[in-house]
Structure 1
Amino acid sequence: MRESLIRQMGELLLAEPGQSARELTAAIDQPGVTKTQVNSLLHGRPDVFEKTDDTPPLWSVREDALTKSMPSTASRATAPAGNATFGSQGAGPALRAWQQRALTAWCDNDHRGIVEAVDGAGKTVLGAAAAAEAVAAGRQVIVVVPGPDQQQQWIEALRAVLPSSRIGGLGSAAAHSLPSDGDVTVYTAYAAIQIRLLDNRAPTNPTVLIIDDVHGYSAGLYAKALLPGFAWRLGLTAALARSDNLVTEQLVPYFSTVIPGCDYPHAVEESLLPRVRLVRVPVRLTEQEAHALRLAEDRAQQALDTLIAKYSAPDTPAGAESFARSEVGERGPGAVFAKRYLDAAGKRTEVLTECAAKQSLLRQLPVAALARTQSIFFTDRATCASRIVQLLSLAGLEVARTGEELSTARREEIARRLRERTLHAVVEHRNVDAALTVPHAGMAMILATELTERQLVQRLGRIVRPEADRPPVVVVTYVEGTSEDSGVGETALTTLGQISEEVVTTDAAELPALLTRWLAEPGQPAAEAEQVGRAERTPDRATPGRPTVADQVARTERPIEPRTPINRPEQKEPTSDVMTELVTELTAQGGVATADELGDLIGLTDPEEMFAAVVAAAESDRLDYRPIEEGSDELILLSSAAGGTPEQRRTALAALTAWAAHSVDPIDEFHRLVRDLGPVRVPRHRLIGVAAFVRGVAPAGLL
C-alpha cells in the first residue's frame, strides 16, 4: 500500500503541482488514507517530493525525480528514503539524514560504536549500510539479532543492498553454512551462543560484528560474541540503558562510543513516525491503599538513605535499583539493606499498579472498540497481567500473555494469530518480548507508569510504527499525587506529550466513548462503528448503551469482582479436585514451577483461588512454596516428591528463588545452584524455565 500510495501522490502532483497535504489527502482515491499518513510519506521521500516555505507547505514532484521511474508496487514497503544512496553494488534505498550522520560518525570512529535510534526510524537500514561498507572493503560480516522475525527482516534488507553477495542465516528453520569472503551471515542470538562465531581452524574469519538490539542480551551472549577478533563493531539499540552494569563494564568499552541516532521527538518531527493520541486517566487510592503506599515509601527511603550514605549507592531510582540487585546476592549488612529496599520498592509498585481504581478502569474498556483493533497492555506485576487476561477473556476477546517463558511453538502460534488478526490483545508482563511483534496494534495501555527511559522506548516501539494507517492511541493511567503523576515530578512519560498530536485527560466514565471514537475504522463514523461493534459482540440481544468489559463479564457464568492488593479477601476454600489438579500438574512440570505457570495450564487464573489452592496443598505436605520477594504474590512451588526432608526442600527452595529472581548471571551461577539443591532433584531444564518465567524472558534470554 505504501508504494502504491506514493505513486498515486506523485501522479496527482504531476497533474497539479503546489498542493498542500490536506488537498492531496482529499484528492487521493483510497479509503482510510489520513493526512498524517500523507504527511509522513511526503516528508519521508525527499528524493521524490519537494516543498515550498509556505505555511502549510505546498508540494511538488522533484525535477530530478522525473527522470526516474516512480516507485513500483514491487518495491519493499518499508524502504526509507533520503538524499544519499548506499550499497557497494549500487543497490538499496537512500539514507535518511540521521542515518547518514550516524554512518559517517561510525566510520570516523574506526568503524566502532553503538547507535541509539528508536524502533521504526530505520536501524536495520543503517546496519545494512554498514554491512555494505564492510563488503566493499572485502570483509566478512556477522549480524546477531534477537529472533527469527528480525533475522528475516535483516536478510531481506541485506539482499536489497547487496544483491550480488550471498546472504546466509543461522538459527532459522533453514540451515546455512558460514559465508565466504565478502558475504554476510545473520545469526539469531540462540545460534550465536551455541556455536563459535570465530573458529581458529578456519582459513578466514569474519572481521565485522553487528549486533541488533544490543542492550537486550545477557552476559552469556556478550561473552560469546564480543570477541577481540572483530575489528569493525556496530551495536544498534532503541535505548542503551539497562538495570545492571553491563553497559558501562562491557558494551561501551567494547564498542568504544555511543553515537546519537534518532529519538522519538526527532522521528515524529521529521515525519519518520506518526504522532500518537495520548489519553491520561488519573485515579485515586483508597485510604487503606494510600496508607500502605506511605509505609512502603518510608521503608524504601530509609533503606536507600543507608545504601547511599554507607555503601555509595547511586541516588537515582534506576541506579539505586541496579545497585540493590547487585548487592542482594552478596553477604553482609549491605545485602540486608538492599533486600529491604527492593522489598519496599516492590510493595510500592504493587500498590500503585494493582490499586482498585485501575482494576475498575479495566472493566470500563469498550469491548466493541477493542475487538476492532489489536491492543497491548503493559504491567509490571504478574498478578495484574493474569487479571487483565481473565477480564478480557471473559468479555469474549481473544487474549494472549507474553513477556514470559514461551515455547517456540507457542510463540509462533501467537505471532501467526497476530498476523491473521485473530488475536485481539496481548498482555506483556515486565520485559517486552523483542522476538514477538504486534503488527496491527492500534492501542496501548500502560498501567505502570514509573518507567525507565529504556522501558518507555520499548513500549512505544510496540505501538508507534511507520506503516500505521492512523495515529496510535496510548492510554496512561496513573495515581494522582504520587511519583506516577508527571504533574508531581518529571517522569519518562513526559516524552509522550512531546510526540502527541492530541492529549486528552479524562476519567473512567468518559473513556469508553473516547476510545470508541478514536479506534473507529478509518473513514467510519464513530456512531456507526459503535453500532457495528455492538452487533458483532452481542448478536443475540440488543444492549442499551455502550457495552464494556464489565457488561460482558456480567453475562458470563463467572463474574469477578475488582481486587485490591491491600486487604486480601477471606481466603477461599479450594475443592479437593482443584488442589489435586494443581499438585498433579506440578508433578508433570518436573516438580518445580511458578504459580502463574500452573494457573495458566490448569485454567486457574484468579490469584486468590490460586493462593488458596497452594496453601491447602502446602498444609497437606504435598508442596512447599515461596514468594520471589517478601510481600510478593508471585510464588515458586516445589513438589514434596522432589526428594529430601522438609527442611532440605525449604532450603533448596530459598536458594532456587534467590537465583531465579536475583542472580546477576543465572547461567554462570547455575552449577552452584544445582549443588545447593542437595538431595532435592528436579529437571535442570525446568530450573531454567522457572528463572525465565520469573524474569519475563525466553530461556535464551538468560544466556
Structure 2
Amino acid sequence: MSVVLTYEEGTIRVDGDPGTPLPAVEYDPRSQSGRAPGHEYARLRDALAPLAVDVDDRVLSLADIGPLESSYELRDYQQAALDAWETADYQGVLELPTGSGKTVIALAAIATLETPTLVVVPTVDLLEQWRGELTREFDLPVGQMGGGTQQVEPLTVATYDSAYLRADELGDQFGFVVFDEVHHLGGEGYRDIARLLAAPARLGLTATLERPDGAHEAVVNLVGERVYALSPEALAGEHLAAYDIRRIEVELTAEERARYEENQSVFTDYLRASNIQMQSGSDYQKLVKRSGSDPEARRALLAKQRAREVMMNADAKVDRLADLLARHADDRVIVFTAHTDLVYRLSDRFLLPAITSETGAAERREILERFRDGTYSRIVAANVLDEGVDVPDANVAVLLSGSGSEREFTQRLGRILRPSSKRDRAVLYELVTEATAEERVADRRR
C-alpha cells in the first residue's frame, strides 16, 4: 500500500489507502481523495509514520536557505522557553512580558530549524521592526507582505491582513510560522491563516494569551498549547526594570457626578427591567445586538457611553496629571487614555506630542524617534502604543483611562519595563474615578 500527500489551496490531499482512518481526513468526492485542513499536516505525518505503508510526501516545497546562526546569547529564561517549545515538538505559545526579548527567542528558533519561515505580525510598525531584525541577524533577503509591498522570500514578514489574503497560495512554501502577538489569531477571519498553512513548526508569541471572548482556545488548537509563561513580576529587577504600580483615586465634580449618576441610572434601570445580568462580554454583545431593534436598549447603551466618558475624562484626572508631570519633570513619561478627544485636550494643555489612530505613519515615526533620542521626554497616546511599537527608555506611565482588559494593562506596563542603567525603578500610575464603575474596571484588569 502507498499514500501520496500533496498540498492544494490550503488543504492536504491524501491519495491512496492507508488501511486505517487518518485524523481530520474526510473523503472528497470531487477529487476522489481524502482531504484535511493544511494545519493538520504534522498530525497526518505523525499518524502515517508507524503504519506499514509507503508515503510519498509532496506537501512542502521549501527553498534551501543554508545554515543559519543567531548572534544572540539567550538569557536563562529565554533558553528555557525555547527548550519547552522544542520539547513540545516545535509547536506552542510563549507568554512573556513586553521587553523580555520574545523576538530573540524566535530568531534562535529560526536558526535552529534552518527552514523557510513566515513571521506574521499585526501592524506595519512591527513588520518593519521584524524585517530589520531578520536582515541584520541572517544577512538574507527578507520578504514583505503588507505596507504596500508584496514580495515573498524564504524569510518573509507579513501582516495578519496580508497573510489572510494569501495563505492558501503560500501555504506549502514555509516549514515554520511565527505568530507575533498571537492573540490576534483568535479573530474569526485570521484563524484561516493558521488553518491553511501546512507549516509543521509553529510558534506563538504574546504577553497575554487569554482573550475575554474565549477565542484563545482556537489559538491553542491551531498553534499549540501555552508551553512557557512568565509574569512581569518574575523578571522585574534583573531582566526587566523594577517597578511600582500606584493607584490614585480622584473625585468627580458636583456637575460631573450629576451627569454620571443620571446616565448610569438609565443604563442600570434598563438592565433591571429587562432582567439582563451583565456578567460577561457576551452579555454586553447581546445587548448591543438588541439595541438594533429595541429603542430603549439603544437609549440605555448611549447613556452608558456618556457615563463612561464622564468617569474616564474627569477634570480631576487632568489636574492630577499636571502634578505628576511636574513631579517627573526629569523622567520619560507616556500618558495613556481611552479617548482620542482627551489626547488632543491634553496635548493642547501640556504641549505633549500626541499619537492616535488618526496620526499618520510618518508623523508617528517622527514623534517616536524624537522620544527615543530625548528630544521629547513625554508623549500622550490613545491605545496605539499598547503593542507593536518599540518605545525604549520610558520609565513612567500614567494610565488616565482604559478598559478592563488584563492584556491592555500588561502591555501598557510593558512600555516602561525595558531595563536601563539610567534609572532605578519604573512606575505606573492608575488614575481611577472613585464611586464609579471605573473602580470595578481597574480591579478587573489587575
SS at match of 1:328: helix
- Change beyond 3 A, Cα 1:451–1:191: same
CA distance in 1, matches of 2:323, 2:391: 24
SS at match of 1:118: coil
Pairing partner for 1:169 from 130, 133, 143: 143
Cross-structure match for 1:428: 381
Cross-structure match for 2:111: 132
Question: Residues 125 and 157 of structure 1 are in contact (CA less than 8 Å); yes or no, is this contact kept in structure 2?
Answer: no
The alignment status of 1:386 with 2:365, answered yes or no, reads: no
Question: Residues 143 and 209 of structure 1 are in contact (CA less than 8 Å); yes or no, is this contact kept in structure 2?
Answer: yes
CA distance in 1, matches of 2:208, 2:222: 17
**Cα deviation 1:370-408 (Å, max 9, x = unaligned):** 4x4432111112332221111112xxxxx3322313333
Pairing partner for 1:196 from 162, 166, 181: 166
Cross-structure match for 2:155: 184
Normalised by the length of structure 1, the TM-score is: 0.47
The alignment status of 1:262 with 2:230, answered yes or no, reads: yes
SS at match of 2:381: strand
Amino acid in the other structure paired with 2:242: R
Pairing partner for 1:238 from 185, 188, 207: 207
- Change beyond 3 A, Cα 1:265–1:419: closer
The alignment status of 1:284 with 2:243, answered yes or no, reads: no
Q: CA deviation at 1:490?
A: 3.9
Q: CA deviation at 1:350?
A: 1.5
Question: Residues 236 and 243 of structure 2 are in contact (CA less than 8 Å); yes or no, is this contact kept in structure 1?
Answer: no
Question: Residues 70 and 111 of structure 2 are in contact (CA less than 8 Å); yes or no, is this contact kept in structure 1?
Answer: no
CA distance in 1, matches of 2:291, 2:86: 46
Question: Residues 244 and 326 of structure 1 are in contact (CA less than 8 Å); yes or no, is this contact kept in structure 2?
Answer: no
Structure with bigger strand share is 2
CA distance in 1, matches of 2:443, 2:149: 49
Q: CA deviation at 1:128?
A: 1.7
What RMSD over aligned residues (CA atoms) do the two structures have, in Å?
3.8
SS at match of 1:124: helix
Q: CA deviation at 1:117?
A: 1.2
SS at match of 1:95: coil
Q: CA deviation at 1:254?
A: 1.8
Aligned length: 379
CA distance in 1, matches of 2:288, 2:167: 34
Cross-structure match for 2:418: 465
Q: CA deviation at 1:332?
A: 6.9
- Change beyond 3 A, Cα 1:440–1:266: closer
Structure with more relative contact order (C-alpha pairs < 8 Å, separation 6 or more): 2
Question: Residues 299 and 344 of structure 1 are in contact (CA less than 8 Å); yes or no, is this contact kept in structure 2?
Answer: yes
SS at match of 2:178: strand
Pairing partner for 1:143 from 95, 98, 119: 119
Cross-structure match for 2:308: 349
CA distance in 2, matches of 1:445, 1:388: 12
**Cα deviation 1:122-159 (Å, max 9, x = unaligned):** 21122123223332xxx321012244553454356546
- Change beyond 3 A, Cα 1:452–1:331: closer
Question: Residues 233 and 255 of structure 1 are in contact (CA less than 8 Å); yes or no, is this contact kept in structure 2?
Answer: yes
Question: Residues 449 and 477 of structure 1 are in contact (CA less than 8 Å); yes or no, is this contact kept in structure 2?
Answer: no
Cross-structure match for 1:478: 432
Question: Residues 68 and 112 of structure 2 are in contact (CA less than 8 Å); yes or no, is this contact kept in structure 1?
Answer: no
Percent of paired sites with the same residue: 28
The alignment status of 1:324 with 2:303, answered yes or no, reads: no
SS at match of 2:376: coil
CA distance in 1, matches of 2:73, 2:300: 50
- Change beyond 3 A, Cα 1:468–1:148: farther
SS at match of 1:377: strand
CA distance in 1, matches of 2:433, 2:101: 35
CA distance in 2, matches of 1:241, 1:380: 21
CA distance in 2, matches of 1:427, 1:489: 20
Cross-structure match for 2:182: 214
Cross-structure match for 2:319: 360
SS at match of 1:343: helix
CA distance in 1, matches of 2:110, 2:346: 43
Q: CA deviation at 1:114?
A: 2.4
SS at match of 1:426: strand
CA distance in 2, matches of 1:474, 1:154: 28
Question: Residues 449 and 476 of structure 1 are in contact (CA less than 8 Å); yes or no, is this contact kept in structure 2?
Answer: no
Cross-structure match for 1:682: none
Question: Residues 121 and 160 of structure 2 are in contact (CA less than 8 Å); yes or no, is this contact kept in structure 1?
Answer: yes
Q: CA deviation at 1:206?
A: 0.9
CA distance in 1, matches of 2:373, 2:79: 36
- Change beyond 3 A, Cα 1:177–1:275: same
Cross-structure match for 1:446: 399
SS at match of 2:415: helix
Within-5 A mapping of 1:11-22: none
SS at match of 2:169: coil
Q: CA deviation at 1:189?
A: 4.3
SS at match of 2:397: strand
Structure 2: runs of 5 or more not aligned: 1-65
- Change beyond 3 A, Cα 1:284–1:173: closer
CA distance in 2, matches of 1:434, 1:447: 18
Normalised by the length of structure 2, the TM-score is: 0.71
Question: Residues 145 and 189 of structure 1 are in contact (CA less than 8 Å); yes or no, is this contact kept in structure 2?
Answer: yes
Q: CA deviation at 1:170?
A: 0.9
Pairing partner for 1:227 from 190, 196, 199: 196
Pairing partner for 1:106 from 55, 74, 85: 85
The alignment status of 1:403 with 2:356, answered yes or no, reads: yes
Within-5 A mapping of 1:628-667: none
- Change beyond 3 A, Cα 1:175–1:260: same
Question: Residues 374 and 424 of structure 1 are in contact (CA less than 8 Å); yes or no, is this contact kept in structure 2?
Answer: yes
Question: Residues 274 and 468 of structure 1 are in contact (CA less than 8 Å); yes or no, is this contact kept in structure 2?
Answer: no
Cross-structure match for 1:568: none
Q: CA deviation at 1:460?
A: 0.9
CA distance in 1, matches of 2:328, 2:254: 33
- Change beyond 3 A, Cα 1:481–1:131: same
Question: Residues 209 and 233 of structure 1 are in contact (CA less than 8 Å); yes or no, is this contact kept in structure 2?
Answer: yes
Question: Residues 333 and 379 of structure 2 are in contact (CA less than 8 Å); yes or no, is this contact kept in structure 1?
Answer: yes
- Change beyond 3 A, Cα 1:340–1:469: farther
- Change beyond 3 A, Cα 1:177–1:452: closer
Structure 1: runs of 5 or more not aligned: 1-86, 394-398, 494-703
SS at match of 2:98: coil
Cross-structure match for 2:239: 272
- Change beyond 3 A, Cα 1:402–1:89: same
Pairing partner for 2:219 from 246, 251, 268: 251
Question: Residues 386 and 412 of structure 2 are in contact (CA less than 8 Å); yes or no, is this contact kept in structure 1?
Answer: no
